[in-house]
Chain A
Amino acid sequence: MNKIKIKIENLYKIFGPKAKNFIQVVRDGTDKDELLAKHNHVLGLDNINLDIYDQSIQVVMGLSGSGKSTLIRHINRLIEPTEGVVLVDNQDVTQFDKNELLDFRRTRTGMVFQRFGLFPHQNIIENVKLGLSIKGVDKSESNETAMYWIDKVGLNGFEFKFPNQLSGGMQQRVGLARALATDPDILLMDEAFSALDPLIRSDMQDQLLDLQKNLKKTIVFITHDLDEALKLGDSIAILNGGKLVQNGKPEDIILNPADDYVAKFVQDVNRAKVLKVKSIMNTNNQLNDAPKINMNDSIESCLPTILETRAALSIVDDDNNIIGSISDKEVASILRSN
């Protein structure tokens, strides 16, 4: 396991003029609706504790109003916490002074927005250079870096166009290039692909995963789309009414939902497609003469073999070592509990 990159501890956010006064009320168990009705304050985040590991993709999921966009804005302190600690590499972001904070945002984090947040009055290369020019990087160097990232996201030839001359998907590529141009170690993506149509969205997800193979950034990805979360997330955190209700690997979320809210979220998921065989294999029973399947295959992809043989399969890791087995009955029971 990688080391912890971002550690969020006991984070509270209450919106309203007397936020501090209501921390204790929230601690005593007042929920979002009650706080609004009784005290006219909005509960944004309720005692969030979350560890985000280095070089991983942490998805934060929830319906609108669950606090996910509020949470991501605490990492680069676009929103001030009411109480709590956000540690990045063991430095407390909430304690930074003005200049430390600007410096942190300029060098350590990049952010991608739902509606892109591009500068309409500047062309693509100027937009991509934003972070660099704010830092004061000299012109020829920043031009070169910007062109490198424009090329990386596949927008060669568009560098002198203006944002509104580009389609939504292309604009978000600009947003991604802009975020990557300063070479931050943390990438904050706030519903980055939600405004795009499904095909483009899927393309962008693939591109992000592809880039991540080499970049190995720590990515915090906000979404309300479970399929997107399952595809991208190394870990998925689920928020409801400002509370963190569950955080775990995709298969944990599907197989062991923490409460009804999560269960409802995952009930329509095609388990056979999402779950990998390694997440349900039986490690105590190793078969030597059964057909072999890779541990990272989906259950769906081994269904034909299982149906054919009507027997257990052995599961191997990438080096072809047998590490467990899976039987037709186990598969059937997993799929039945849908």
Chain B
Amino acid sequence: MNIPEFLTVFPKMGKVDYLAFKKAIDGAFRQFSRAYGDSIESFFDPVLYFLVNLEKLLQNTPWPIVIMVFLLLIYYGSRSIYLTVGSLAAFLFIAYFGMWQDTMSTVSIIGVCTLLAIGLGIPIGILMSGSDRVRSAVVPILDIMQTMPSFVYLIPVVMLLGIGKIPGLLAIIIYAIPPMIRLTDLGIREVDKEVLEAADAFGANRIQKLFRVQLPLALPTIFAGINQTIMMALAMVVIASMIGVRGLGQPVLKAISNQYLTMGLLNGFAIVVLAVIFDRVSQSFGKRLQQHRAGSRE
């Protein structure tokens, strides 16, 4: 039996057309990045300045002071003496194996990324929760941000901004901000309708409703979002190091290409330890917020 050719071979685009298509898009983007690259870069200058100085501060302050401050923050956040002592051991381990400087770099970029993700994510989540139309526009974008392989969006980011801290920061934020936005939206949408109606019935305007009812009641869910964002940002550390972000990712990268097992393990372990500390502290802080809200029955 003779099968027609168009059934066995998909009628694909001609090679010449494809080349022209590629050229057009690449060329247009290259033009765009030539025209606007510098101004976009300078737009991020304040962030870069902040990031660089935070990193310097953490690296140049004597390590005992930094550890003390971290331990205080950890204790304040978690109220757990075990976690604080465990963290102390972890920090000493990191410093003893010579990973202190890299760890401080990683902490500073994770910190800045998390702050930016919170600062951008919460307002977007609020807008989303207020309008189904905004929501249906934003959700697919978030889906793309979370599923698109990071290497793909690294290409335009690097074309535009070159390699360095800012492109790394953007890559981390693109990957880490979706849970922040989603959980802010979810938390606000889950607020008890009758409580909201009560606020309406007493004449609360939009701002009053947002700050007195919606945000406070959504806070535990928002905190779960912050926790997720931090975890995802840490997961991006190695990929970000490929475009020149300093920190624990770079030794890991070096270890991969040279098959340095011990070096890879140690630095990987340091990332895990940071993740565990961030996770436990932010989780127990979030839980405490919830407990306060619920009050304790005597």
Interface residues in chain A, defined as those with a beta carbon under 8 Å from any beta carbon in chain B: 76, 78, 102-107, 109-111, 113-121, 123, 130-131, 134-135, 161-165, 178, 182, 188
Find chain B residues with CB under 8 A from A111 CB. 198, 201-202
Which single residue of chain A is at the shortest CB-CB distance from B204? A134
Contact with A along B132-175 (1 / 0, CB 8 A): 00000000000000000000000000000000000000000000
Contact with A along B279-298 (1 / 0, CB 8 A): 00000000000001111111
Highest count of chain A CB atoms <10 Å: which of B195, B292, B296: B195
Beyond A119-B195, A120-B217, A121-B217, whether A78 also contacts B201 by CB under 8 A is yes
Q: Is there contact, CB below 8 Å, between B295 and A105?
A: no
The 5 lowest CB-CB distance pairs between A and B, nearest first, are: A162-B295, A117-B198, A106-B203, A105-B203, A111-B201
Q: A103's contact among B203, B204, B217, B296, by CB below 8 Å, is which?
A: B203
Interface check B39, CB cutoff 8 A: no
Interface check B197, CB cutoff 8 A: yes
Find chain B residues with CB under 8 A from A114 CB. 194
Interface residues in chain B, defined as those with a beta carbon under 8 Å from any beta carbon in chain A: 192, 194-195, 197-205, 208, 212-213, 216-217, 292-298
- A66-B102 Cα distance, complex, nearest whole Å: 68
Q: Is there contact, CB below 8 Å, between A117 and B194?
A: yes
Q: Is there contact, CB below 8 Å, between A106 and B297?
A: no
Sample of 11 further A-B pairs with CB below 8 A, known A102-B203, A106-B203, A162-B293:
A114-B194, A117-B194, A117-B195, A119-B198, A120-B195, A120-B217, A120-B293, A130-B202, A134-B203, A134-B204, A165-B298
Find chain A residues with CB under 8 A from B216 CB. 121
Which single residue of chain B is at the shortest CB-CB distance from A105? B203
- A107-B202 Cα distance, complex, nearest whole Å: 8
Beyond A113-B194, A118-B195, A121-B216, whether A131 also contacts B294 by CB under 8 A is no
- A48-B234 Cα distance, complex, nearest whole Å: 62
Q: Is there contact, CB below 8 Å, between B295 and A164?
A: yes
- A336-B39 Cα distance, complex, nearest whole Å: 93
Find chain B residues with CB under 8 A from A119 CB. 195, 198, 212-213
- A111-B214 Cα distance, complex, nearest whole Å: 20
Q: Is there contact, CB below 8 Å, between B204 and A120?
A: no
Highest count of chain B CB atoms <10 Å: which of A102, A103, A178: A102
Beyond A120-B294, A165-B298, whether A105 also contacts B195 by CB under 8 A is no
A108, chain B: closest CB distance, angstroms: 9
Q: Is there contact, CB below 8 Å, between A106 and B200?
A: no
Q: Is there contact, CB below 8 Å, between A118 and B198?
A: yes
Q: Is there contact, CB below 8 Å, between A165 and B295?
A: yes
Q: Is there contact, CB below 8 Å, between B293 and A121?
A: yes
Q: Is there contact, CB below 8 Å, between B295 and A161?
A: yes
Which single residue of chain B is at the shortest CB-CB distance from A123? B295
- A283-B201 Cα distance, complex, nearest whole Å: 47
Beyond A131-B202, A134-B208, whether A113 also contacts B197 by CB under 8 A is yes
- A105-B208 Cα distance, complex, nearest whole Å: 14
Q: Is there contact, CB below 8 Å, between A102 and B205?
A: yes
Q: A131's contact among B192, B195, B203, by CB below 8 Å, is which?
A: B203
A195, chain B: closest CB distance, angstroms: 11
A131, chain B: closest CB distance, angstroms: 4
- A109-B213 Cα distance, complex, nearest whole Å: 20
